[in-house]
A and B are shown apart, each in its own frame.
Chain A
Amino acid sequence: MLVLTIHLTGCVGSTRQTVEYPASAPSYQSQEEELPASSSEIQEAQAPHSAEIEAPTGDLVEIGERLFIAQTNDIYLNPEDYLGKTVKYQGIFKTMDWEETGETYHCVIRYGPGCCGYDGEAGFEVDWAGDWPQEDDWCEVVGVLEIYEQSGMRYLRLALDSLTVLKERGAEFVST
């Protein structure tokens, strides 16, 4: 099952809780059936990609500010249309500590409508070989969308080709 991370910090006691995503009406079962099952497309949690900055290859999917949540949702709902493509977007760098595994996960997200106001987060987990930025830094990331498997679950993430910290911040809160 494809599991995304959305934090409902306003609605639940724990500040970090993994619930199923996408936030909007999913068909989990059909989504599960449509996920690629070949071993070549499912990567185990492995060493991150090269830290060298490389030009994006293949189709470029640029997630803009106008339809940030809609584009993000579409990638989660229809991952087969985006796997292997290069995704580029800007957002806030966040880390999450997963209590069950004791691991730290890194994401680039923006705040969006959740259950109570803007307590939802939309974005992707990222995988990067270089130095991580500071928490809450505004970053532009470019990477290839991939699925990896961990503890029997499959997750989407971006294997980054570049991560750039920007001084000028974009819209941290998005509604569409």
Chain B
Amino acid sequence: MFDVIFEMMSYTFLVRAVIVGLLVSLCASLLGVSLVLKRYSMIGDGLSHVGFGALAIATALNVAPLTVSIPIVVAAAFLLLRLSESSKIKGDAAIALISTSSLALGVIFISVTTGMNTDVCNYMFGSILAMSRADVRLSIVLSILVLILFILFYHKIFAVTFDETFSRAVGTKAGIYNMLLATLTAITIVLGMRMMGAMLISALIIFPALTSMRLCKRFQTVVIFSAVSAVLCFLVGIFLSYWYSLPTGASVVAVNLAALLLCSLAGAVKGGLQKR
């Protein structure tokens, strides 16, 4: 097995994929805890569809995809939050509204310009093994920025996640921290779409948080376990994808699913033992 790992690391594009994948998995898992607790699990799916639309348009116009899609997805995240806060369109409906519209507009734009091609298909299902140096640099910088901001504002994010009403009552500007959460999520989604694809990126956000919640109860331990789980699942997933020549994104999700099932079983056993 170690021979296989050394063989994998002899490919520079695999080393780049591992570095970017680890950082993005880490960011997604940390943000995922708050999003799952706030019942915004599907925001990843919604924003990824917006990102797909933006990337499709950028590809058709032959401009750098990431620099176009990041501001659009961030704007969509703000719009989602504003819609959800209104009394007319709530969370899940707002996500469905924006995500399907973006996807449809992206597909229409693509069909009347370049046509559906492999580039566009790769955005749907991911292609972490095909990244230019510029994309890798941008991904690393943005991932580190997300991590730093999350750590800096950890306590505020915890407060608005756990009890937003109480946070507002004690003077915390919950709106700003919700916007921060949305922005960090948007950036992570766009970066993660390169590796997982628009269809699967939400798995990186949801699975680690759910997995850790099977075993952990305190917010801090959930966050830490979620991060560890995400990193381990990514490494195992990319190893298995190399070993069995499987799509990388799907392999990572499959490993996350296995981890969730394992932890659910362990949690059930632990709960049963505690009752005795």
A positions within 8 Å CB-CB of B:
6, 8, 11-12, 19-20, 22-31, 34, 66-67, 70-71, 73-74, 77-78, 81, 113-115, 120, 175-176
In the bound complex, do residue A113 and residue B118 qualify as a contact, i.e. CB atoms below 8 Å apart?
Answer: yes
The CB with the most chain B CB atoms within 10 A, among A25, A31, A73, A78, is that of: A25
In the bound complex, do residue A27 and residue B118 qualify as a contact, i.e. CB atoms below 8 Å apart?
Answer: no
In the bound complex, do residue A8 and residue B117 qualify as a contact, i.e. CB atoms below 8 Å apart?
Answer: yes
In the bound complex, do residue B131 and residue A6 qualify as a contact, i.e. CB atoms below 8 Å apart?
Answer: no
Verify if B97 is at the interface (C-beta below 8 Å from A): no
In the bound complex, do residue A115 and residue B247 qualify as a contact, i.e. CB atoms below 8 Å apart?
Answer: no
Q: Which residues of A contact B14 (CB under 8 A)?
A: 67, 70
Q: Which residues of B contact A6 (CB under 8 A)?
A: 118
Once bound together, how far apart are the Cα atoms of A102 and B248, in whole Å?
40
Verify if B262 is at the interface (C-beta below 8 Å from A): no
Q: Which residues of A contact B127 (CB under 8 A)?
A: 24-25, 73
Closest to A30 in B: B134
The DSSP consensus for interface residues of chain A is loop
The DSSP consensus for interface residues of chain B is helix
We find that the number of chain B residues with CB closer than 8 angstroms to chain A is: 36
Closest to A74 in B: B13
Closest to A20 in B: B62
Q: Which residues of B contact A23 (CB under 8 A)?
A: 117-119, 122, 130
In the bound complex, do residue B134 and residue A67 qualify as a contact, i.e. CB atoms below 8 Å apart?
Answer: no
A-B contact pairs, 16 of them (CB 8 A): A25-B65, A26-B119, A26-B132, A27-B132, A29-B64, A31-B132, A67-B14, A67-B245, A71-B13, A73-B130, A81-B12, A115-B120, A175-B245, A176-B129, A176-B245, A176-B246
B positions within 8 Å CB-CB of A:
11-14, 55, 59, 62-66, 114-123, 127, 129-135, 194, 241-242, 245-248
Q: Which residues of A contact B12 (CB under 8 A)?
A: 74, 81
Partner of A175, one of B62, B117, B121, B247: B247
Q: Which residues of A contact B245 (CB under 8 A)?
A: 66-67, 175-176
Closest to B65 in A: A25
In the bound complex, do residue B130 and residue A77 qualify as a contact, i.e. CB atoms below 8 Å apart?
Answer: yes
In the assembled complex, the CB of B89 is this many whole angstroms from the nearest CB of chain A, namely 32
Once bound together, how far apart are the Cα atoms of A88 and B246, in whole Å?
23
Q: Which residues of B contact A113 (CB under 8 A)?
A: 118, 121
Extra contacts, 15 of them, besides A22-B130, A25-B131, A113-B121 (Cβ < 8 A), are A11-B117, A12-B115, A23-B118, A24-B118, A24-B122, A28-B62, A30-B64, A34-B132, A73-B13, A73-B127, A77-B130, A114-B121, A115-B117, A115-B118, A176-B241
Closest to A81 in B: B12
In the assembled complex, the CB of B131 is this many whole angstroms from the nearest CB of chain A, namely 7
In the bound complex, do residue A25 and residue B123 qualify as a contact, i.e. CB atoms below 8 Å apart?
Answer: yes
Partner of A25, one of B130, B133, B241, B247: B130
In the bound complex, do residue B130 and residue A115 qualify as a contact, i.e. CB atoms below 8 Å apart?
Answer: no
